[in-house]
């Protein structure tokens, strides 16, 4: 309602006072003022509850919009069935210019293309790549028509399939198949394809042939041990040898696959035997029967008594070489100068043995001479248990 300006004039009253007047009383009649404005109605109070957004509810009535509240400069909508903002086109999204101005714009990915029909998924991107992420980590990328290899899915991790993974006709599974199982395959002209879960069938070759390579990636069937048959020769457990391009079995050597022991009947045409000639003297020596042979011959004067340990070598125990009820004889020759020294202790696989000396007498070393210690080791039990028979003979 516009403002109303009014001038109210009160008639003046003359009051005369004389020196003789002692009492003055002034009475002013009350002024009654009524202001009337025709055609102006009383204001309509707000509708709804505190904070609700107002709207014209009937020409002269205010209404409060339920589920719409204003507080501290924030407009809040709650429990709305639908919010309509006119403008834009189907599939457009509401975007901001960063300065508070909102407008409808086309979506970066068209939502109508996410599900096409009932099952096919279509995703179109500017660079031809679709990235799949979990949080901030990229877990997979699907290369499409814009990539160097269309249709390739690269996954940073494992793929777990609830159903079969198949390749279309002409396609191949490529990569390291070391972790694959239950794959059946057969041989075609150019590829190794699945046919059997238990055997690899590669046609060609002859019974007993092996698959060889020329070193350049070409494989071919070749006879074992030469150009002849690949069948083993000799009898069961015979050790094999190349017999003019064929396999031969030597009855002199036999292998027990249960115990891992090789037994042999050896005939030396001229009695030759390899020994170890050694100028190094020490207080403890490993007698490696596999590399030293059965004789160690010292050429330098001893400087102290020696502890002798029989073994196969640094990685093979003597126990694994000698079966129960078998024996081995080894000789250790020492050289003494002005002071006489001897074999002080005799061990097998670092376990001290009691030597049974000839006539029950421990040999006494002699100066300026050589002494040949001969030990015959008999294995009497697999625990292992040994009897060691010893003798010492002076020379010089």
Structure token digits, residue 382: 């697999």
Task: Give the residue from 270, 272, 266, 268 showing the smallest Cα distance to 253.
Answer: 266
318 located within any domain: yes
The region of weakest confidence among 209-218, 250-259, 285-294, 332-341 is 250-259
- Asked if residue 163 belongs to a domain, the reply is no
Domain boundary among 38, 54, 84: 84
pLDDT at residue 213, rounded to an integer: 82
In a domain? residue 194: no
Per-residue pLDDT at 311 exceeds 90: yes
DSSP string, 53-66: EEEESSSS-EEEEE
pLDDT band per the 50, 70, 90 thresholds, residue 111: very low
Q: Is 369 helix (H, G, I), strand (E, B) or coil?
A: strand
pLDDT value at 366 more than 80: yes
In a domain, 358, yes or no: yes
Alpha carbons 20 and 22: distance in angstroms, whole number: 6
> Residue 121: beta bridge partners?
115
* pTM for this prediction: 0.39
Does residue 152 fall inside a structural domain?
Answer: no
55: pLDDT strictly greater than 90: no
Q: Which residue segment(s) compose the domain that 52 sits in?
A: 46-84
Which residues contact residue 356 at a Cβ distance below 8 angstroms, ignoring those fewer than 6 apart?
Answer: 387, 388, 389, 390
Q: How many domains does the chain have?
A: 2
In-domain check, residue 204: no
Q: Return the ∠ at Cα 289 (arms to 282 and 366), rounded to 5°.
A: 45
267, two tokens: 């005939």
User: Is residue 226 a part of any domain in this protein?
Assistant: no
Residue 126 — very low, low, confident or very high, per pLDDT cuts 50/70/90? low
pLDDT digits (tens, 9 = 90+) for 14-54: 767 677 766 666 676 776 666 665 666 666 678 778 877 77
């Amino acid at each position: 309602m516009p403002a109303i300006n009014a001038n109210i004039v009160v008639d003046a009253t003359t009051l005369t006072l004389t020196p003789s007047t002692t009492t003055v009383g002034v009475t002013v009649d009350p002024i009654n003022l009524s202001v009337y404005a025709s055609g102006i109605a009383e204001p309509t109070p707000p509708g709804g509850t505190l904070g609700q957004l107002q709207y014209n509810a009937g020409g002269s009535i205010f209404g409060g919009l339920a589920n719409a509240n204003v507080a501290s400069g924030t407009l809040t909508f709650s429990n709305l069935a639908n919010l309509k903002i006119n403008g834009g086109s189907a599939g457009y999204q509401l975007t901001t210019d960063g300065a508070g101005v909102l407008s409808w714009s086309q979506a970066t990915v068209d939502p109508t293309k996410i599900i096409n029909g009932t099952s096919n998924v279509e995703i179109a991107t500017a660079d031809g790549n679709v990235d799949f992420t979990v949080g901030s980590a990229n877990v997979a990328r699907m290369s499409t028509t814009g990539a160097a290899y269309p249709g390739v899915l690269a996954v940073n991790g494992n793929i777990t399939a609830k159903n079969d993974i198949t390749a279309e006709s002409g396609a191949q599974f490529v990569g390291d198949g070391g972790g694959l199982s239950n794959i059946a395959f057969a041989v075609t002209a150019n590829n190794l394809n699945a046919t059997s879960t238990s055997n690899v069938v590669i046609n060609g070759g002859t019974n007993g042939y092996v698959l060889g390579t020329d070193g350049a990636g070409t494989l071919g069937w070749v006879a074992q041990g030469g150009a002849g048959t690949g069948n083993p020769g000799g009898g069961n457990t015979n050790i094999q040898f190349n017999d003019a391009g064929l396999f031969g079995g030597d009855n002199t050597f036999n292998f027990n696959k249960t115990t891992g022991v090789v037994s042999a009947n050896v005939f030396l045409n001229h009695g030759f035997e390899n020994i170890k000639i050694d100028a190094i003297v020490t207080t403890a020596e490993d007698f490696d029967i596999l590399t030293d042979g059965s004789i160690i011959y010292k050429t330098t004067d001893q400087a102290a008594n020696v502890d002798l340990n029989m073994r196969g070598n640094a990685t093979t125990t003597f126990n694994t070489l000698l079966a129960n009820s078998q024996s081995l004889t080894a000789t250790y020759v020492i050289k003494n100068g002005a002071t006489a020294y001897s074999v002080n202790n005799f061990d097998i696989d670092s376990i001290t043995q009691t030597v049974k000396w000839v006539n029950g007498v421990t040999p006494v070393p002699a100066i300026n001479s050589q002494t040949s210690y001969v030990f015959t080791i008999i294995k009497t039990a697999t625990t292992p248990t040994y009897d060691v028979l010893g003798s010492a003979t002076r020379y010089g």
